[in-house]
Amino acid sequence: MDSIVVTGGKALHGQIAIAGAKNAALALMPATLLSEDPLTLTNAPRLSDIKTMTALLQSLGVEVTSMQNGKVQVLSSHAMTSTTADYEIVRKMRASNLVLGPLLARHHQAVVSLPGGCAIGARPMDIHVTALEAMGAQIDLRDGYLHAKAPGGLKGAKVPLRFASVGATENVLMAATLAKGTTVIENAAREPEIVDLAHCLRRMGAQIEGEGTSTIIVQGVDRLGAATHPVVTDRIELGTYMLAPVFCGGEVECLGGRMDLVAAFAEKLDAAGVDVTETDKGLKVKLRGDRPRAVDVVTEPFPGFPTDLQAQMMAMLCLADGTSVLEEKIFENRFMHAPELVRMGARIDVHGGHATVHGVETLKGAPVMATDLRASVSLILAGLAAEGETVVNRVYHLDRGYEHVEDKLGAVGAQIERVSGT
pLDDT-wise least confident of 108-117, 162-171, 281-290:
108-117
Residue 384 pairs in a beta bridge with: none
pLDDT of residue 22: 94
Q: 217: Cβ–Cβ under 8 A, 6 or more apart, which residues?
A: 182, 183, 184, 185, 208, 209, 210
Q: Which amino acid is at 79?
A: A
* Domains delineated in the chain: 3-18+233-419 (3.65.10.10), 22-230 (3.65.10.10)
| Catalytic residue set | 118
- Name the percent of the chain lying above pLDDT 70: 98
The answer to whether 407 is annotated as binding is: no
Picking from 258, 250, 249, 251, the residue whose alpha carbon sits closest to that of residue 279 is 258
Q: 149: Cβ–Cβ under 8 A, 6 or more apart, which residues?
A: 104, 108, 109, 110, 137, 138
Determine the Cα angle at 238 with ends 233 and 241, to 5°: 150
Between the alpha carbon of residue 117 and those of residues 30, 81, 112, 397, the distances in Å are 17, 26, 15, 10
- Residues 44 and 192: their CA atoms lie apart, in Å, by 16
The answer to whether 94 is annotated as binding is: yes
Q: Which ranges of 224-262 does DSSP label H, i.e. alpha helix?
A: 235-248
Tell me the average pLDDT of the chain. Answer: 95
Where is pLDDT greater, at 122 or 21?
Answer: 21
The whole-number average pLDDT for the span 331-335 is 81
Per-residue pLDDT of 229-257, as tens digits, reads 999 999 999 999 999 999 999 999 999 99
pLDDT of residue 101: 98
pLDDT of residue 144: 86
Residue 276 pairs in a beta bridge with: 285
The whole-number average pLDDT for the span 192-214 is 98
Q: Report cis status (omega within 30 of 0) of the bond before 303.
A: yes
The answer to whether 308 is annotated as binding is: yes
pLDDT-wise least confident of 59-73, 91-105, 340-354:
91-105
Q: 143: Cβ–Cβ under 8 A, 6 or more apart, which residues?
A: none
- Name the percent of the chain lying above pLDDT 90: 87
pLDDT at 418 over 50: yes
Q: 213: Cβ–Cβ under 8 A, 6 or more apart, which residues?
A: 188, 190
Picking from 208, 161, 217, the residue whose alpha carbon sits closest to that of residue 189 is 161
The answer to whether 22 is annotated as binding is: yes
SS3 323: strand
pLDDT at 118 over 50: no
The answer to whether 281 is annotated as binding is: no
Per-residue pLDDT of 1-39, as tens digits, reads 899 999 999 999 999 999 999 999 999 999 999 999 999
pLDDT of residue 120: 33
